[in-house]
A and B are shown apart, each in its own frame.
Chain A
Amino acid sequence: MVYLNHAATTHPRPPEVVSAVVAALSSAPVHPGRGAGGQDPLTEARLALAELLDVDGAERIALLPSATYALNLAIAGLAPQPGDHVVTTRLEHNSVLRPLAHAAAAGRLRVSYVSPDRLGRVSTADVERAIEPRTRLVAVTHVGNATGCIQPIREIAAVAAQKGVALLVDASQSAGVLPLGHRSLPGRVFVAFAGHKSLLGPPGVGGLVLADDRLPQGVVGGTGIRSEEPLHPPELPLRHEAGTPDVPAAAGLAAGVRLVLARGVAEEGARRGRLAIRLRSRLAATAGVSLSPELEPDPRAGIVAFRLAGWTPGDVGDALLRSFDIEVRAGLHCAPLVHDPLGTAPLGTVRASIGWSTTEADVDALAGAVDALAGGGA
């Protein structure tokens, strides 16, 4: 199979990651406070992530079941009062849109949505204009998962900091491909990440980079320490980690992040960018193909979205998989609001997403298959 759906989840997992998961499952439990001690995969994962994302202290990284969980935790804690206002964008994934929509439907907050331009980018000026006196949070993705477009989070962080508003960055698509530099982002910045995409880990683990130790707790319960106390420990990172952790997933994530560090984030972004340019240029030369967005000056995220005239995106995805054994993703990509501004509503696009294992032969196979579909058959 040619796998070009890395924005959904990476496949195959590197052998180092698989070995780390198996080793953790095969070993005696080592979670501090609950086991016999020894090497702690959670701490290893935190240390590797702190280095990768340039976080000032590994304890600022809460390991959680997913980026979705992290985003829910942050949104609930950063805009908790009735009447609070949140600024977000139409690029966001449902993991941001739905927690906001639920809170808005319950009357707990109001939401303003900033639209991207035709290149899939939001402007910092539009974000600044949307901030009101009651705005408590700006929530923005680093890379649009449906488009691959990189957002100006450094400039947005500066605006949010100047206005005294917290910033929540969804780095699900960027962590491992683009530098984040959390330490140098101005203001109160939280970052959610997924472990199973470009960090190369298994599903079941993600996390939240914490700006400080003031985010209200969500799920509380057992931690393995200070069991005699009635309240959950307030210190980081246990403040946000309750219940028996997924140690094998953390071990796999640690191995994945170490691989990412060894390969080099800048190098990986440049490599994916070259492959994306190659794919975009081949697709752009195919009759009936329209790219979304039409231009992409910075394709390092390795996401290429397109439509083929006369075909629904779902039919293209089905034909690629069943006839050519090429897996892409078709539809709205769980980002339903971005398709109106980009002109791809209501059916969305076909999305090819490049990952650590993608080769020139892979993107050429996709381009050739789309060219064959466009040819019209007998």
Chain B
Amino acid sequence: MREVIAIRVPPGCLRSAPVREYELSEPVDEALMHRLAEGGTLQYFPTFPRPLFRIDRPQEFCTQGIVGSPVLRVTFSPSSDAGTREALRLALGGGTAEGEEG
């Protein structure tokens, strides 16, 4: 079963940006991509060298990733809260929460 195994602050020089990398136990597939996009807008680039998707869930988060990769990049909206993060974690199958060891 897919679940979150790590949540990281991605490397970079912007500590203030609310960006996290979610690493899952299994790669993202199109079914998960469409599920995450419910209630938001999906941009999908299936013909790219590695198929990229972007999902914008207003007031919650914007996420992007590669179909076939287990890593999601998530930028939380300034109006998001702990509930948003928990809902995302559950949508990804549960597992590690932010601040826990993966």
- Tell me the A residues contacting B by CB distance below 8 Å: 312, 314-315, 318-319, 322-325, 330-334, 346-348, 372-373, 376-378
Contact = CB atoms under 8 A, between A and B. Distances in A.
Given A323-B45, A372-B48, A377-B43, A315 B64 contact: yes
Closest A-B pairs by Cβ, 10 of them: A377-B43, A323-B52, A377-B45, A323-B48, A378-B44, A323-B50, A331-B13, A318-B73, A331-B14, A377-B44
Given A323-B66, A332-B14, 4 more contacts: A315-B54, A315-B64, A323-B50, A324-B48
Contacts of B51: 323
A323 B49 contact: yes
Interface residues of B, number: 26
13 contacts: A312-B75, A314-B12, A315-B54, A319-B52, A322-B50, A323-B48, A323-B49, A330-B12, A331-B12, A331-B14, A334-B13, A377-B52, A378-B43
Contacts of B10: 314, 318
B24 interface: no
Contacts of B52: 319, 322-323, 377
Nearest to B62: A315
Contacts of A323: 45, 48-52, 66
A314 B50 contact: no
A314 B14 contact: yes
A344 to B, nearest CB: 12
Interface in B16-66: 16-17, 19, 43-46, 48-54, 62, 64-66
B64 A319 contact: yes
B4 to A, nearest CB: 18
A348 B69 CA distance: 27
Contacts of B65: 322
Contacts of A315: 54, 62, 64, 73, 75
